[in-house]
Amino acid sequence: MWGAAALVAGTTVGAGILALPAVTAESGFAASAAALTGFALFSITTGLLVAEVNLNTLCELGASRGVSLSSMARRTLGDAGAGAVSATYLLLHFALLVAYIAKAGETLQEATGLPLAAVDLAFVAAFGGLCFAARPSTLDSINSALVGLVVVTFLGLLGVAATDVRPELLSAANWEALPDALPVIALAFVYQNVVPVITTSLEGNVAKIRQAVVLGSAVPWLMFLAWNAVCLGSSGGGLLGGADGAGVDPLAALRQAGNPAVAPLLDSFTFLAIATSFIGFVLGLTDFIADALQLPTGRQPIPYLLTLAPPLVLALSYPSVFFSALEFAGTYGVLVLFGLIPVAMAWSERYAGTTLSRIQVVPGGKPVLALTAAVAAGVIARELLSSATQLAN
């Protein structure tokens, strides 16, 4: 269970945490803390909905091989739903893997001075090869150790940077600016792609699955709150300090604050956060591709090649794609694939009479499902309206 919780936490703490200070700076710490808490609960609910549908799919189809989100959608939503899920899943995961490789390469290049292509290739070979070659128990241990290092570097960074925090800034709340930050906040809590992996590894034990998802989500939530408090409450951080802070990236301000320990800690934290998230997304996407190709789970080279090669090529071709990839993934992919789709699948199982489902992991019935769908749909609709308004102007 602890290994599964570490996988959830490691997958969650990735590129999103690096972008949070910049996108929440205008809304302020108090408003962003409320949104982070709400989306932590949202992500726990949708993750457990994925686990619920996955468990029932395993019961009906058998567990001889992994069951992907596409198979779950086909069983509950039909072929059209499965096709939509497959397309969205691939676009989202490839976009995020491109972002991870680009950011890892940028960080390694700054640290080593080596060519960008070389460090990109080394990162993919090292961590992609680890996912392919390591036994599940070994990979769990390594990932747990990396998550531990993420926490250590994170705490060190907080300890160094907290000396510049101005408490009066922590009460700032610009609620009108908060909706602009919601897509990236939603992206920051993404881990649902590894839920089928932990469901299988925990052998369908509902209590342990709940514990792993809740504990694995609680750690990133606390980290995000502390991270935003330090970045947005620091003397040079964000857009909240008046004219002197206007237009300043909080991370850039943190790096330039003058303490020589900040830069190496920030680089180490960035790399480790990307690495742990990369592992989770590689495992999730290889299982998805293996299922689509009707291959058994395990050390199959074709799913790994199809998972790693396209994002590596794109990251090499467009090295500055990090924020663009995050914006695309957070605005539409996350809230559709890990917001609306889990609700639709669970609703079909429970109330449409399309399956023989008996296991329910998420309590609350129809009100909880409706509220979860409304949150995702509301953010998507707002973003669509905002984009249409910008085009019209």
Tens of each residue's pLDDT in the chain, 393 residues: 888 898 898 878 776 888 888 888 888 889 999 999 999 999 999 999 999 999 888 888 765 556 778 888 888 888 888 888 888 888 888 888 988 898 898 889 888 889 999 999 999 999 999 988 888 888 888 888 888 898 898 888 888 878 777 887 788 788 988 898 898 899 899 889 889 889 888 888 899 999 999 999 999 999 899 988 888 887 444 444 433 334 556 777 777 766 777 788 888 888 888 888 898 889 878 887 887 787 765 578 898 999 999 999 988 888 877 777 777 777 778 899 999 999 999 999 888 876 666 788 888 889 999 999 999 999 988 888 887 887 777
**Superfamily grouping for domain 2-392:** Amino acid/polyamine transporter I (1.20.1740.10)
pLDDT for position 246: 43
CA separation, residue 225 to residues 158, 229, 361 (Å): 11, 6, 27
pTM of the predicted protein model: 0.80
pLDDT for position 119: 93
Please report, for the chain, the start and end positions of each structural domain, with discontinuous segments joined by +. 2-392
pLDDT for position 248: 57
| CA 111/CA 107 separation, integer angstroms | 6
pLDDT for position 236: 44
Within 10 angstroms of residue 196's Cβ, the number of other Cβ atoms is 28
pLDDT for position 367: 94
